[in-house]
Amino acid sequence: MIEPSEPATGAVTPAESGTGAPRRRPSRWAVALTALTIVAVADGIFQLWLWTANGDRYFWPRWVWFGWATLIVVVLAVRDAVRAPAGRRRGWVVHRDLFLLVNAVQIGAWALVGHGFFWPAWPLPFMTALLAGHWWMLRRMPPSRERELAERVDVLTRTRRDALDVRAAELERIERDLHDGAQARLVSVAMTLGMTERLVARDPAAAGDLVAEARAGALAALEDLRTVMRGIHPPVLGDRGLVGAVEALAVDLSVATTVTAALPARPPAPLESALYFAVSECLANVVKHSHADRATVTIGYGLGLLTVVVGDNGIGGARLDLGTGLLGVARRLEVFDGTLELRSPPGGPTEVIMELPCEL
């Protein structure tokens, strides 16, 4: 059993010192305010003694006390302003303290002067209205940093929802492709092999034909699976990168397509995948809708932005709100804080400008 160690001789424990934690040193503001208050009280007592010694009927020391009190309130207001966070919050604190200081001085001066008309009532409503207006604007217009964060949260919420929608659509497409393609062919292969099993004893020639048919069906199913895999992540994208994959994509198009690229390094794999499918969708739109005979793809990097521009010399008139292709591309890019800009005047040409922030 381990016994608790005893404190060394002469050591002072927290319990013996009367405190469980080290004492906190007073701030410079507290020291300054304390010193100022001591000087004010001492001077007030001295002025009171002078008034008593002279035997004056008019009690003039109250003005000295009023001056010291005003100075202390000014110091408190300056302390609040310095401690307030920079920006609109500090402006509100300064306005509030000025309102309290000016009204306190006016009411104090009126009270020291004596009886008479309460003239501080004239500026008080106007100053109160200004303070209330300032407070209302502060509540209605949050600080720029908070507004930026709120907008950022809105963007992240929307892009997360869009990303989930895109993911659900992709999963639905993959399921449909597998069901209509590879699954149907594999079911056919299984049925053919079942027929082959029944014929192999009594009609070997017919069984051999069915085996050949089953083999062709299996190869077709394998090709369907490869097609589905290319839709998920094309092998050429992993082997040759974004530029090589886009060049391979352009070779198979019916529209002559020129690919120009200048990248210092390969982008991250998620960005490559997003841009590859974005370019694929844009080029598919060129083939289907633009009536163009020439298209271009330009890939570049600068100022922390990866830029891809897909253009054609077609009829133009494309819009983001017509169809879901380009809108889906924009949603895909928003997940990575990317943007899509469409320039397609009637009569052409058309340009789709995609930008993604990244470090290469």
Residues 43 and 125 in one domain: yes
Angle, helices 235-251/269-285, rounded to nearest 10 degrees: 20
Together in a domain, 240 and 279? yes
Domain count, the chain: 3
d(CA 297, CA 284): 13
16 domain-assigned: no
Please indicate, yes or no, whether residues 167 and 99 belong to a single structural domain of this protein.
no
Task: Report the distance separating Cα 268 and Cα 252, nearest Å.
Answer: 25
Q: Which of 193, 208, 232 is the last residue of a domain?
A: 232
Residue 241 shares a structural domain with residue 314 = yes
Domain boundary among 90, 111, 145: 145
Q: Say if residue 211 is in the same domain as residue 249.
A: no
Residues 93 and 181 in one domain: no
Which of 145, 167, 197 terminates a domain? The answer is 145
CATH of the domain at 255: 3.30.565.10
Same structural domain, 171 and 253:
no
Is residue 193, in this structure, part of any structural domain at all? yes
Q: 292 and 201: one domain?
A: no
Same domain, 227 and 289: no
Domain membership of residue 20 (yes or no) is no
Residues 117 and 222 in one domain: no
Residue 12 falls within a domain, yes or no?
no
Residues 69 and 178 placed together within one structural domain of the fold: no
**Same structural domain, 48 and 119:** yes
- The predicted model scores a pTM of 0.48
Cβ atoms of 260 and 297 within 8 Å: the answer is yes
Provide the residue-wise pLDDT of the chain in tens; the chain has 360 residues.
344 444 444 444 444 444 444 456 667 888 888 898 999 899 889 988 888 888 777 888 888 888 898 898 888 888 888 887 766 777 888 888 888 888 888 888 888 886 678 888 888 888 888 888 888 877 776 556 666 666 767 766 766 666 666 666 666 666 776 666 667 777 777 887 787 877 777 777 887 887 888 788 788 777 767 666 655 667 788 788 899 989 988 888 888 999 999 999 988 888 888 898 889 889 988 988 888 989 999 999 988 899 999 999 999 888 887 665 788 788 888 878 888 999 999 888 999 999 998 887
Domain that holds residue 201: 146-232
| pLDDT at 91 (0 to 100) | 81
